[in-house]
Amino acid sequence: MFRTHTCGELRISHAGQTITLAGWVQRTRKMGGMTFVDIRDRYGITQLVFNQDTNTILWESANKLGREFVIQVSGEVAERSNKNANINTGDIELLVTVLTVLNESKTPPFTIEDNTDGGDDIRMKYRYLDLRRNAVRHNLELRHAMAFETRRYLDKMNFLEVETPVLIGSTPEGARDFVVPSRMNPGEFYALPQSPQLFKQLLMVSGFDRYFQIVKCFRDEDLRADRQPEFTQIDCEMSFVTQEDVLQIFEGMVKHLFKYVKNIDFVESFPRMTWADAMKYYGSDKPDIRFDMKFVELKEEVSGHNFVVFDSVPYVAGICATGCAGYTRKQIDTLTDFVKRPQVGAKGLVYIRCEADGTFKSSVDKFYSNDDLKIIADKCNAIPGDLILILAGEIRKTQKALNELRLEIGEALGLRDKNVFAPLWVIDFPLFEYDEETQRYYAMHHPFTSPMLEDLPLLETNKGEVRSNAYDMVVNGVELGGGSIRIHDSKLQNEMFKHLGFTPEKAEAQFGFLMSAFQYGAPPHGGLAFGLDRFVSLFAGLDSIRDCIAFPKNNSGRDVMMDAPSVIDQSQLDELNLIIDIKE
């Protein structure tokens, strides 16, 4: 070992001991005949002292050390006269008697500090240096701890981690697969799994009873800020369970992680909200319930006042922004611009200021008397000093816009504190989702999701109302995971395929293999999958998943550090029986 201690380990109790450290030069300060060097490793920083009077040659060597040189030093631990309360080793320093340069370093292209001077692009190109920064490394330490505690909890609960294959068959349904040409099977391709869904259900057929896996999944999609072509799931499945059992077990897992990783104890059960209520009160299937500000439906109250904007639409709803009556015209204009952005999509914004004297000032005074506005304000539970913001239009679109507005206001009011965590189960998801474009229903989750038995009669009459045994775990408006109880009965499954518009042939082609397996005694089963990247981001308080991934890819799916993907040798293409043909 090149060291007796780490750079984060020495305390006042070590004073007088002769020890050896190894690490990187964080910085060097020359103060007259004394040179102070901060040596850094994963565990911390220790101050080294070189004294010209004691050892001139050594002192001169110390003065030549550059940033990020790798050094080994020995000496005596001494109490510092000038203690630094900001670091764990701040009570001591090392009086160096031996200095060895283990490796030199070129000057890094950005500083290795929490607030680095490096921009995103350069940091990604030199990711191996970026990873030296505490801020980034802490995210990966957190990731390790979360994965480890997940395994510890699930192992204790009798789950078996089973590795499922990465080279699998391609399924044309759903998102785009990454494919892998097979050299040994010319003209054929493997696919990389978008999830181990098929395999985990097979493992239930195999009687594995409780399965999990922390596993890489792959999706060849155009990337957004929080998407990566490869991502990691905590994938789980259980047999002989109802929805309640699954929620209990995984609520336990989430609580375990909060407790052992974040030191936060959730004693009470997590709240549950139906999908219908989530849409009605928050306009989102992943409501951020750190703050209230529920939607108030106002169609009845606002109708019949000759305000055509409200009269002509099916849906009018508002939110009450506590204490915001003082918002200036300019602030309200900014909010109006916000809701009119194409991503939000509202046509305009109506406001009602609840003045201190009990009167109201609104953008629709022409149509509504003070008494009319009072009725609305009362319904919104608004009191003097509050600001009511109202949107109107087609129901889903307007709910979506009002959700965005609610989040924006919540952010502005400081109600979305990253250190406050508000978990929520969203349950009773619809089984089907109607697609306007193709004018047909699709499975909202996937075609194996079990419908709620009491809703089965609606299958023929009102597909859109059929609820499923599907659930999502939402924290702070982030969907951490979701799953469902699966259909284990072949007859019901075939009926579902019919309702999803699959011909028996198409169902057979795509899912025949799983359906065959189900004929050999499939147990009732269900499960869920968490997105580990998002889970870590949430715990780390990050806005993007990128910084909790050691070597992420950019929005074009490129690893700019190693410059991948890249062209391959013609001989490789030949072996794979492939010709590249780039269309213009």
Q: Which of residues 104-143 bind a copy of itself (CB under 8 A)?
A: 104-106, 108, 126-129, 131-132, 137, 140-141, 143
When asked if residue 456 is in the footprint of a copy of itself (CB under 8 A), the reply is no
Is the separation of the CB atoms in 223 and 159 below 8 Å? no
Interface pick for a copy of itself out of 162, 264, 383, 412 (rule CB under 8 A): 162
- The answer to whether the bond into 565 is cis (omega within 30° of 0) is yes
Cβ proximity to a copy of itself, 110 vs 421, nearer residue: 110
Smallest distance, a copy of itself to C-beta of residue 254, A: 20
Interface pick for a copy of itself out of 98, 356, 420, 578 (rule CB under 8 A): 578
Q: Which of residues 175-214 bind a copy of itself (CB under 8 A)?
A: 176-192, 198-199, 202-203, 205-209
Q: Interior CA angle at 28 toward 83 and 75, to 5°?
A: 65
Backbone angles phi, psi at 4, to 5 degrees: -100, -25
Smallest distance, a copy of itself to C-beta of residue 196, A: 10
Per CB under 8 A, the segment of 155-163, 325-333, 405-413, 479-487 that binds a copy of itself is 155-163
Smallest distance, a copy of itself to C-beta of residue 100, A: 11
Q: Which of residues 365-404 bind a copy of itself (CB under 8 A)?
A: none
Dihedral, 228, 223, 439, 478 alpha carbons, nearest 10: 60
Binding mask 15-44 for a copy of itself (x = CB under 8 A): -------xxx---------------xxxx-
Cβ proximity to a copy of itself, 36 vs 208, nearer residue: 208
For the four alpha carbons of 454, 456, 457 and 458, in that order, the dihedral sign comes to positive
Cβ proximity to a copy of itself, 57 vs 184, nearer residue: 184
Q: Which residues lie closer than 8 Å to 268 by C-beta, 6 or more apart? A: none
Q: Interior CA angle at 552 toward 550 and 554, to 5°?
A: 160
* 287: nearest Cα among 416, 444, 442: 416
Per CB under 8 A, the segment of 67-75, 89-97, 385-393, 454-462 that binds a copy of itself is 67-75
Smallest distance, a copy of itself to C-beta of residue 101, A: 10
When asked if residue 549 is in the footprint of a copy of itself (CB under 8 A), the reply is yes
Is the separation of the CB atoms in 261 and 146 below 8 Å? yes
Query: What six digits make up the tokens of 290?
Result: 């750190």
Binding mask 70-89 for a copy of itself (x = CB under 8 A): x-x-----------------
Smallest distance, a copy of itself to C-beta of residue 305, A: 52
Cβ proximity to a copy of itself, 192 vs 352, nearer residue: 192
Cα distances from 172 to residues 128, 175, 193, in angstroms, run 37, 8, 12
Backbone angles phi, psi at 496, to 5 degrees: -60, -40
Cβ proximity to a copy of itself, 243 vs 398, nearer residue: 243
Q: Are strands 423-427 and 272-274 parallel, antiparallel or unpaired?
A: parallel
Q: Which of residues 469-488 bind a copy of itself (CB under 8 A)?
A: 488
Q: Which of residues 45-64 bind a copy of itself (CB under 8 A)?
A: none
Q: Which residues lie closer than 8 Å to 460 by C-beta, 6 or more apart? A: none
Smallest distance, a copy of itself to C-beta of residue 559, A: 7
Smallest distance, a copy of itself to C-beta of residue 513, A: 6
For a copy of itself (CB under 8 A), the number of binding residues is: 123
When asked if residue 575 is in the footprint of a copy of itself (CB under 8 A), the reply is yes
Cβ proximity to a copy of itself, 104 vs 337, nearer residue: 104
Query: Which residue type sits at 57?
Result: I
Residue 137 CA to residue 263 CA, distance in Å, equals 20
Smallest distance, a copy of itself to C-beta of residue 279, A: 31
Q: How large is the angle between the packed helices 134-156 and 532-540, nearest 10 degrees? A: 120
Kindly calculate the radius of gyration of the chain based on its CA atoms and give it in whole angstroms.
30
Q: Are strands 350-354 and 272-274 parallel, antiparallel or unpaired?
A: unpaired
Cβ proximity to a copy of itself, 408 vs 559, nearer residue: 559
Helix (H) or strand (E) holding 245: helix 243-262
Smallest distance, a copy of itself to C-beta of residue 135, A: 13
Cβ proximity to a copy of itself, 160 vs 420, nearer residue: 160
Q: Which of residues 500-519 bind a copy of itself (CB under 8 A)?
A: 513, 517-519
Interface pick for a copy of itself out of 76, 277, 479, 489 (rule CB under 8 A): 489
Q: Which of residues 221-260 bind a copy of itself (CB under 8 A)?
A: 222, 229-230, 232, 240-242, 245
What's the number of CA atoms in the CB half-sphere (13 Å) around residue 458?
15
Cα distances from 116 to residues 88, 108, 141, 238, 561, in angstroms, run 22, 11, 20, 46, 18
Is the separation of the CB atoms in 60 and 14 below 8 Å? no
Interface pick for a copy of itself out of 53, 117, 163, 437 (rule CB under 8 A): 163
Per CB under 8 A, the segment of 332-340, 349-357, 467-475, 565-573 that binds a copy of itself is 565-573
